Amino acid sequence: MAAKIPNDIYQFSIVSAYKAGLTQAGPPVRALQGYGTDGIAYFPRNGGELLFLDSTAYFIPPNQGHQASRTASPVTSTSPDTSVSPNENIMEHAKGDILLPFVMVTKFVPEFSLNISGDTEMESLMDLLECEGPVAGGKNSFMPFRLRGSFSSVSLHDVGPGSRRSSNATSSPPPPSSDSERERKLENVNGTIFGFHGPKWAEGISPTGFHCSFVSERDEGGVVRGGRVRDFKVNGAVELTWAKTGRFHLGLPTDGKFEELDLGSNGESGMLSPTSSY
C-alpha cells in the first residue's frame, strides 16, 4: 500500500500506451482505496470509464452504440429498477476485481475553496482556479478539483473508442437528434463533479486540460446518473474545492507488450481517444 500523502497523484500507465491498445492489465478496482479517495480510470478497450469518488467506484458505460452486455458489464447493480435503459446515463458500482489499464487517483484534501453561483460553466473554471494566485495552481500544474451543489445542466461526453473517419472524408457526421441530445444532458440536478486538470506538458502521459465526471444524488427510485463531463452550468449554490499537486507518482507496465509500442510515433490510426473534457 502506498503512503497516502494528500493530493499526491498516483498514476498507472500513460495515456499514449492506452491509446495504442495496451488495455489488458492494471490494478483492480478494489486496490484504489490503498492509494487515495478520488480519481478516474479507463476500463479495457470499449469498456467505459470509472469515477472514484469519496472511496466509491462508479462505472461509466460506453455509449457510442456499443453498450456492454449486462452479463459482461463490470458493475455490481445497486439500482432497484433493473428495467431502466442503459442509455439513460445510469451510474452503478464497479466490481472490485475488474482490472484498470489506466488510473489516476489521489487522497483529495481540499486546500482552496470558493462558493460560486450564477453564470458559471466549464469555460470559466481555470479563471476560478487561478483566482488565489500561483500558490493555488495554474495552467502548468496538476490540480484535483471538485464541484458540489446544484447544476442547471451537465452535458456529458460519449466514452469508449473514438470515432474513426478516413483521411479522405469530406463531410462531418450528422448532428445528433434531439432525442440523443436529451439523453446526453442532465438538467436541474444536484450532485458532484470530480476530476483533474492536467498541464499541456503532460500530453501523452496524462489527460490534459480538464478531465472530470459527474455523479448525481440518488433520485426517488434510488438511481444515480452521471458520466464524463463535457460542460456544465451552475444553478444556485455550488462549492468549488481544489488543491495543487506537489508530487506525481507514475507506475509503468512491466510486460513486454509495453516495449513493443511505438509511443514516439505520430500515427494514431485506430487509437482510442480518452481526451480531456475541455
Calculated CA dihedral for residues 101, 54, 140, 163, nearest 10 degrees: 40
Q: What is the pLDDT of residues 206-236, one digit of tens each?
A: 999 999 999 999 888 888 899 999 999 998 8
pLDDT(66) > 50: no
Q: Is residue 233 part of a domain?
A: yes
**Which of 194, 181, 185 is CA-nearest to residue 107?**
194
Q: Is residue 104 part of a domain?
A: yes
- Side chain identity at 188, as an amino acid letter? N
User: Quick one: pLDDT at residue 272?
Assistant: 45
Contact predicate 241/110, CB 8 Å: yes
pLDDT(173) > 60: no
Domain CATH number, residue 31: 3.30.1330.80
pTM of the model: 0.80
What is the torsional sign of CA 247, 251, 252, 254?
positive
Please state the rounded mean pLDDT for residues 197-212.
Answer: 95
> For residue 69, what is its C-alpha cell?
452486455
In the chain, what is the straight-line distance between the N-terminal and C-terminal CA atoms, in Å?
Answer: 33
Q: How many CB atoms lie within 10 A of CB 114?
A: 15
pLDDT(172) > 80: no
Which H or E run contains 17?
A: helix 15-19
Domain encompassing residue 200: 8-62+91-160+181-258
Q: What is the pLDDT of residues 10-62, one digit of tens each?
A: 999 999 999 888 888 899 999 999 999 999 999 987 688 999 999 999 999 88
User: Quick one: pLDDT at residue 91?
Assistant: 84
Q: Is residue 198 part of a domain?
A: yes
Q: How many domains would you assign to the chain?
A: 1
Q: What is the pLDDT of residues 93-128, one digit of tens each?
A: 999 989 999 999 999 999 999 998 877 888 889 999
User: Quick one: pLDDT at residue 22?
Assistant: 87
Q: Is residue 200 part of a domain?
A: yes
Compute and round to an integer the Cα radius of gyration of the chain: 18
CA angle 260, 277, 138 (to 5 degrees): 95
